[in-house]
Amino acid sequence: MKIYEKPAAFYDEFSRKGGNVKTTHYCPGCGHGNIHKLIAEALDDMHLTEKTIFVSPVGCSVFGYYYFNTGHFQASHGRAPAVATGIKRANPGSIVISYQGDGDLAAIGTAETLHAANRGENITVIFVNNAIYGMTGGQMAPTTLLGQVTKTTPLGRQEDLHGNPVRMAEIIATLPTAHYVERVMIGDAKDIAQARKAIRKGLQNQIDGKGYSFIEILSPCPTNWGMTPVDAKKWLKEKMTQIFPVGLLKDTTEGQEGKWYRQFADFVPEKTDAYLEQLVDVGHLASLDGVSAPDGLQCKFAGFGGQGILTLGLMFAQLAMRAGSKVSWIPSYGPEMRGGTANCSVNIAQKRIGSPLAETPNLLVVMNQPSLEAFEASMQPGGLLIYDSSIVEKAPQRKDIRVVGLKASDMATELGNSKVANVILLGAIIAALDLYPIEFVKESLKGIIKKKALIDINLEALIKGYEMAARR
């Protein structure tokens, strides 16, 4: 079709299109031409052309970028609302139009459509419903009417075979965050005037930060309906509107001004640095006087979940990191996880940590019987095994390792907090391995323990374990 009195929001010539650069690629009598013109005029009158980003879908309207003198994204089939979300969230000041056909919006892109609406994206969705797949040559669309003959419903669409036409406007209107939903049509002049109003309202809502607007436009496709343009309009008005009644479905935009305008701040490196700085809670290492970085420790910490055994491993790693060693901590994963034990591997070295796993530990700390049974055999000869003898009933069997058992859980209960059994064991490890001056450990723990109210009891526990093991 020819577009007369071309709006300024259209390019002067459609040079991206090739062939005749004066006409559109749409068939005679196609509703897309009318709708494009309504949009272009609105962009003109509302002075939006320069800040508009037009998202074209897959379908007959894939070539939106032939015509509008705006920014353009061509989206993959059905994903225009997701693309529009990506644009609008990182550029809230732009005007984003998601222009989609029925296959795109109501079939392959249903999820994107519903969820963009449900998030209340501050965008304008123009849904061109012509009850058929146009570009691919006339197959059944989700909006195809019952009885309508298409290439894939040669006997007509049947409810018991193909389901019913999907009424997207009605579905969208059920979502509280879709504040403006209207169905209009490319029928006679009066209908088109209503469509013009609806498009402008949808755009104005976006400018005003009123959130998601959905405008469904019934649009003729004479080519694939196999009708003349005149008959097509007649069919649209008489048949399509029976299933897809035109009119306002919902307008709850009042009072929504600005609410859906989501800010996006520019990247300021200094701000990011300051933010990262405050995230880091081990900003500076504890004073290293008299502290030497441990080396060559391959440790396994194992017990029941909830005993704080993974935290014990983590505290042990953090101490070594503060003392200047390289460390790795990894919770059990994969097949190791079976058998009722939670465990983690900690590796500590001065130079480089190869394997982060502890296949053959030289330090094993266990807080339950299954863990002892699972890992005792894997220990290196000469290694240290520390266990909570309040819980582990059968003592370790190996004679070629050092074994320290202490009633950590009972001691913790005596201290008044059964949760600090792990820190009692920590004290015992430090003493048994003669790893660090106890002052260093105390100072470090003050930084490591997040809940400040718990610091005192933990330090008490630490000393208990330390002294108990030191005495042996």
Partner 1 sequence: MTTQLMKGNDAVIIGALAAGCRVYFGYPITPASEIAHAAARHFPALGGVFVQAESEVAAINMVYGTAGMGVRCMTASSSPGFSLKQEGLSYCAGAELPCVVIDVNRGGPGLGNIAPEQSDYFQVTKGGGHGSYRLITLAPNSAQEMCDLTFLAFDLADQYRTPACLLADGVIGQMMEAVDVPKARPVPFDHSDWAVRGTPETRHLITSIYLEADALEAHNLKLAQKYQRITENEVRFEEYCTEDADLIVVAYGVVSRLASSAIDLARQQGLKVGLLRPITLWPFPSQKIAQLAETTKVFLSLELNSMGQMVEDVRLAVNGKKPVYFVGHCGGKNFGCQEIVDLMKKYL
Could you tell me the two tokens for 237?
């008005």
3-state secondary structure of 327: strand
Closest CA to 186 of 105, 143, 126: 126
**How far apart (Å, rounded) are the C-alpha atoms in residues 316 and 441?**
10
Scanning residues 436 to 465, which ones bind partner 1 (CB under 8 A)? none
Candidate ranges 26-34, 84-92, 259-267, 453-461; the one touching ligand SF4 (CB under 6 A): 26-34
Contacts 24+ apart (CB under 8 A), 324-332: 324/285, 324/288, 324/291, 324/292, 324/293, 324/350, 325/293, 325/294, 325/295, 325/349, 325/350, 326/350, 326/351, 326/352, 326/353, 327/353, 328/353, 328/356, 330/356, 330/357
122, 224, 371, 458: which one binds ligand SF4 (CB under 6 A): 224
Give the nearest distance from C-beta 90 to partner 1 in angstroms.
Answer: 4
- Comparison of 270 and 289: residue with beta carbon closer to partner 1: 270
Q: Judged by CB under 8 A, does residue 359 bind partner 1? A: yes
Distances (CA, A) of 65 to 13, 39, 151: 12, 13, 29
Q: Judged by CB under 6 A, does residue 71 bind ligand SF4? A: no
Give the nearest distance from C-beta 42 to ligand SF4 in angstroms.
Answer: 21
**How far apart (Å, rounded) are the C-alpha atoms in residues 226 and 203?**
34
**How far apart (Å, rounded) are the C-alpha atoms in residues 423 and 388?**
12
Could you tell me the two tokens for 16?
């991206």
Q: Give the one entry of ligand SF4, partner 1, none that residue 222 binds, where binding means its C-beta sits below a cut-off of 5 to 8 angstroms depending on kind.
A: ligand SF4
Give the nearest distance from C-beta 80 to ligand SF4 in angstroms.
Answer: 17
Scanning residues 103 to 132, which ones bind partner 1 (CB under 8 A)? 111-112, 114-115, 119
Spatial contact of 285 and 322, defined as CB atoms under 8 Å apart: yes
Candidate ranges 219-227, 233-241, 380-388, 394-402; the one touching ligand SF4 (CB under 6 A): 219-227
Q: Give the one entry of partner 1, ligand SF4, none that residue 105 binds, where binding means its C-beta sits below a cut-off of 5 to 8 angstroms depending on kind.
A: none
Distances (CA, A) of 140 to 187, 207, 239: 22, 36, 16
Give the nearest distance from C-beta 134 to ligand SF4 in angstroms.
Answer: 3
Q: Judged by CB under 6 A, does residue 24 bind ligand SF4? A: no
Could you tell me the two tokens for 470?
């030191």
Scanning residues 320 to 349, which ones bind partner 1 (CB under 8 A)? 321, 326-331, 333-335
Give the nearest distance from C-beta 420 to partner 1 in angstroms.
Answer: 21
Scanning residues 10 to 39, which ones bind partner 1 (CB under 8 A)? 16, 18
Q: Give the one entry of partner 1, ligand SF4, none that residue 53 binds, where binding means its C-beta sits below a cut-off of 5 to 8 angstroms depending on kind.
A: partner 1
Give the nearest distance from C-beta 91 to ligand SF4 in angstroms.
Answer: 30
Give the nearest distance from C-beta 392 to partner 1 in angstroms.
Answer: 26
Binding mask 362-401 for partner 1 (x = CB under 8 A): ----------------------------------------
For CA atoms 319, 320, 324, 328, the dihedral sign is: negative
Size of the site for ligand SF4 (CB under 6 A): 11
Spatial contact of 291 and 440, defined as CB atoms under 8 Å apart: yes
Candidate ranges 181-189, 218-226, 317-325, 388-396; the one touching ligand SF4 (CB under 6 A): 218-226
Scanning residues 272 to 311, which ones bind partner 1 (CB under 8 A)? 272-273, 275-277, 279-283, 285
- Comparison of 27 and 403: residue with beta carbon closer to partner 1: 27
DSSP string, 135-176: TTTS-B-TTPPTT--BTTBTT---HHHH-PPP-HHHHHHTST
Q: Which residue has the tokens 């058992």?
A: 405
Scanning residues 44 to 63, which ones bind ligand SF4 (CB under 6 A)? 60
Give the nearest distance from C-beta 272 to partner 1 in angstroms.
Answer: 4
Counting runs of H as helices and runs of E as strands, what totals does the chain give?
17, 13
40, 166, 221, 441: which one binds ligand SF4 (CB under 6 A): 221
Scanning residues 121 to 140, which ones bind ligand SF4 (CB under 6 A)? 130, 134
Could you tell me the two tokens for 22?
């004066």
**How far apart (Å, rounded) are the C-alpha atoms in residues 211 and 197?**
18
Q: Give the one entry of ligand SF4, partner 1, none that residue 395 binds, where binding means its C-beta sits below a cut-off of 5 to 8 angstroms depending on kind.
A: none
Could you tell me the two tokens for 102?
């029925």
89, 239, 398, 402: which one binds partner 1 (CB under 8 A): 89
Scanning residues 39 to 68, which ones bind partner 1 (CB under 8 A)? 50-53, 55, 62, 65
Spatial contact of 132 and 138, defined as CB atoms under 8 Å apart: yes
Contacts with ligand SF4 by CB under 6 A lie at 26-27, 30, 32, 60, 130, 134, 221-224
